[in-house]
Amino acid sequence: MDFAIDFLFEPLKEIWEFPIFFVEVVVGGILTGVMYSLVALGFVLIFKASGVFNFAQGAMVLCAALTFVGFHELGVPQWLSLILTLGVMVALAFAIERIVLRPLVNQAPIILFMATIGITFFIDGFFQMVWGEDVKRLDIGIPKEPLEIGGVLVNTFDIVAALVAGTLVGVLAFFFQSTRIGRALRAVADDHQAAQSVGIPLQTIWVIVWSVAGIVALVAGIMWGSKLGVQFSLALIALKALPVLILGGFTSIPGAIIGGLIIGVGEKVAEVFWAAKIGGGIEDWFAYILALFFLMFRPQGLFGERIIERV
Amino acid sequence: MLYREAGQFKTSYSADQGIFPILQDRIGMAIILAVAFVAVPMVASDYFLSTIFIPFLVFSVAAIGLNILTGYCGQLSLGTGGFMACGAYAAYKFATAFPELNIVIVFLLSGGISAAVGVVFGVPSLRIKGFYLAVATLASQFFLIWLFTKVPWFVNYSPSGVISAPPRAVFGWYVTGIEATAEAKYLFCLTFVAVLALVAKNLVRGRIGRAWMAIRDMDIAAEIIGIRPLQTKLLAFAVSSFYCGVAGALWAFIYTSSVEALAFDINRSFQILFMIIIGGLGSILGAFLGAAFIVLLPIFLSAVPQAMGVPVTTSTLAHLEFMIFGGLIVFFLIVEPHGLARLWQLGKEKLRLWPFPH
């Protein structure tokens, strides 16, 4: 009973007594959530356009960050290494489409999913072999001092990250809604066969989608890399993005953002106010349980396409 | 010529429904069992037994378990490691709390505990489908591992968080602990595997297995022809978790003797998923083939550069292993998405005609 009171009421009392602290925690959660969304976006793009659940997105984040830092350490200026990394990501998209996806056309989704796990292993191994496995520092000149807005302490870096993510989503939305290629991408997402029959080349579209996902991975890699340092654990960020993904729905870009925010806030609040009572270290699973809870009510995620089943 | 069922007539229904209706299959199976039970422990060294054969057997049980859930019932699960950990810790608690309990019963009980946990985590499968479910099963993976790491009761308050198998004997032979010989451990494992595989084979070719497959192929249609999705899916989760739990207990007690929760992390789940994909989804034989493949591959990969005398640093080797592993998986999926079991089936078709062209 003591434990129940301690667990249920104490944290609420704490929140009531220090509202500013609570707001700080929530803001911190929102900003972390945006970072999760950045990774989740890459998943959504590929799933929308090709129905492939791309487990390799995390590995792509790692590989983009490693390549970016690697070129920079070789003495290449940052803007040039950015362009070079973009080139690498596009080349990777080409290679994946050519070597993996094309021979596996028309296979069951689980087979394609497995193939992307294979790709994950390959990318992890290959890029770490090329660039080494030590932790690399990445500094892109964003200040990390805390900033006070209306009495709430916020990290400047997190604000910049959120702005970057917002811009990226804006650009992607524009790209999807208002360009020719974007229209083609949406058509493919809607119905592969219909898109093909009106003359949209599927294979080109897939290369484009994987390249875009690679670019998103690059942005996510740079942001996460300058936050945590560039190292293997970046690839594990993908595991943090998965609950965001199922919460928001696999097929929805706004879903990825909202899902990220919910997960970010929920996780931070639970960690600060509740975690210590049950032993701490809950960040590994809390997001999953939270997402699971939402899924019980909306099995296709908050913004996912409604699953219509016919016999 | 050799492998042909011509002339083998069945005169009763029970003969017709046997597991191995063809004489050659029965002979083959008898030979395999004889080799496994008699020849291998006599010939193989302790090192081979404990680094190749025992892990192979343990992995086979886990792979059969996951194959029941994913291959037969179509529910993609990434929580295998969590259920294995569940079995391992349950076995540890049973074995230390009731020292006089026979180890076989301990293992079966721990399988039962993980079956119960599996049912709890299987409940969302009624609402959630496909990849949503796959990601949701990760919840069980992370939560269970966290639970076993954080709650000291599970490790009997040992400060290191490691559980060590207490020495236990079956028929006077030590099968766990320091005094157990590799042969005893191997035979104990093998008996477990043989019995469990037989049970699984019979489950999947009977009414229950057909219900699972109907759910896998289309759950709404299955519901309409009178299969209850609730019971069927939860049963698949229970049976699958039972197998995974026993595999976890075997892993902790027989294979490594002492283990911590991290041994059952998400990589273990993926490893077992690889086994059933490479071996063949929806095939008991496939679980064995896949387990053999995944156990042998890293050994092979690290032995080849050494044998060729190529100097490779350990970190490069680790990365190379990752690359080759990933590459091979993609290669296998492209060449034969239905796995090694399918290759064996094709081989059997060919054997029927051999050496004649038609």
User: A282 pLDDT band (50/70/90 cuts)?
Assistant: confident
Q: Which two tokens stand for residue A297?
A: 């009510």
Question: What residues contact residue A55 under an 8 Å CB cut-off, 6+ apart?
Answer: A113, A116, A117, A119, A120, A238
CA distance B278 to B270: 12
Residue range B104-114: mean pLDDT, rounded: 92
CB B203 within 8 A of CB B67: no
H or E element, residue B334: helix B314-335
CA distance A173 to A185: 12
**ipTM here:** 0.84
User: Is A292–B127 a contact, with Cβ atoms under 8 angstroms apart?
Assistant: no
Across chain A, mean pLDDT equals: 82
Q: Which two tokens stand for residue A14?
A: 């704490």
CA distance B81 to B113: 15
CA distance A234 to A58: 7
- Distance of residue A232 Cα from the nearest chain B Cα, in angstroms: 12
Ranked by mean pLDDT, the top range of A132-136, A219-223, B124-128, B239-243 is: B239-243
Helix boundaries (H) for B98-173: 103-122, 130-150
Give the HSE-up count for residue A305: Cα atoms under 13 Å, Cβ half-sphere. 11
Q: What is the DSSP letter of B166?
A: P
Q: What is the pLDDT of residue A311?
A: 65
Q: What is the pLDDT of residue B135?
A: 82
A8 interface with B at CB cutoff 8 Å: no
Q: What is the CATH number of domain B21-353?
A: 1.10.3470
A308 interface with B at CB cutoff 8 Å: no
CA distance B191 to B100: 21
A236 interface with B at CB cutoff 8 Å: no
| Residue B195 scores a pLDDT above 90 | yes
User: A2 pLDDT band (50/70/90 cuts)?
Assistant: low
User: B232 pLDDT band (50/70/90 cuts)?
Assistant: very high
Ranges of each domain in chain B: 21-353
From chain A, the residues in CB contact with B150 under 8 A are 278-281
A115 vs B76, B136, B330: nearest CB: B330
Across chain B, mean pLDDT equals: 86
From chain B, the residues in CB contact with A285 under 8 A are 139, 142-143, 146
Residue B177 CB neighbour total at 10 angstroms: 15
Q: Please report, as a single letter, which amino acid is at residue B77.
A: S
CA distance B257 to B26: 35
User: Torsion over CA of A204, A205, A211 and A212, rounded to 10 degrees?
Assistant: 160
Q: What is the pLDDT of residue A1?
A: 59
Question: What residues contact residue B165 under an 8 Å CB cut-off, 6+ apart?
Answer: B92, B95, B176, B177, B252, B253, B254, B257, B258
Question: What residues contact residue B120 under an 8 Å CB cut-off, 6+ apart?
Answer: none
Question: Coil, strand or helix: which one is B172?
Answer: coil
Q: Please give the model's pTM, rounded to 2 decimal places.
A: 0.88
User: B102 pLDDT band (50/70/90 cuts)?
Assistant: confident
Residue range B279-284: mean pLDDT, rounded: 88
From chain A, the residues in CB contact with B72 under 8 A are none
Residue range B303-315: mean pLDDT, rounded: 71
CA distance B191 to B213: 28
Per-residue DSSP letters for A205-264? HHHHHHHHHHHHHHHHHHHHHHHH-BSGGGGGHHHHHHHHHHHH-TT-HHHHHHHHHHHH
Residue B207 CB neighbour total at 10 angstroms: 9
Q: What is the DSSP letter of A136?
A: B
Q: What is the pLDDT of residue B1?
A: 59
Q: Which two tokens stand for residue B280?
A: 């063949």
Q: Which of B247, B241, B183 is nearest to B40 (CA)?
A: B183
| Residue B113 scores a pLDDT above 90 | yes
Residue range B203-230: mean pLDDT, rounded: 91
A299 vs B132, B220, B320: nearest CB: B132
Task: For residue B45, count CB atoms less than 10 angstroms from its CB and return exposed for 0-12, middle for 13-18, buried for 19 or more.
Answer: exposed
CB B144 within 8 A of CB B117: yes
Q: CA of A249: which chain B residue's CA is closest?
A: B132
- Compute the 3-state secondary structure of chain A and give helix, strand, coil in percent, each to the nearest 5: 75, 5, 20
A6-19 tens-digit pLDDT: 667 777 777 777 77
CA distance A157 to A146: 8
B150 vs A110, A122, A279: nearest CB: A279
User: Is B124–A296 a contact, with Cβ atoms under 8 angstroms apart?
Assistant: yes
User: A3 pLDDT band (50/70/90 cuts)?
Assistant: low
The CATH architecture annotation of domain A2-297 reads Orthogonal Bundle (1.10)
CA A126 to chain centre: 22
Instruction: Give the gyration radius of chain A's Cα atoms.
Output: 20
Residue B91 CB neighbour total at 10 angstroms: 30
Q: What is the pLDDT of residue B333?
A: 85
User: Is A104–B337 a contact, with Cβ atoms under 8 angstroms apart?
Assistant: yes
B258 phi, psi to nearest 5 deg: -140, 145
β-strands B173-174, A146-149 pairing: unpaired
Which residue's entry shows tokens 């950015």? A82
Q: What is the pLDDT of residue B243?
A: 95
CB B201 within 8 A of CB B19: yes
Q: What is the pLDDT of residue B311?
A: 66
Residue B347 CB neighbour total at 10 angstroms: 12
A281 interface with B at CB cutoff 8 Å: yes
B21 phi, psi to nearest 5 deg: -70, -20
Ranges of each domain in chain A: 2-297
Q: Which of A48, A70, A71, A92 is nearest to A215 (CA)?
A: A92
Q: What is the pLDDT of residue A228?
A: 79
Which residue's entry shows tokens 């001092």? A145
Q: Which two tokens stand for residue B53?
A: 């054969």
Q: What is the pLDDT of residue A5?
A: 67
CA distance B168 to A106: 52
Residue A43 CB neighbour total at 10 angstroms: 26
- Distance of residue B78 Cα from the nearest chain A Cα, in angstroms: 12
CA distance A306 to B111: 37
Q: What is the pLDDT of residue A52?
A: 83
Q: Which of A231, A199, A200 is nearest to A70 (CA)?
A: A231
The CA–CA distances, whole Å, from A88 to A65, A94, B269 equal 11, 10, 31
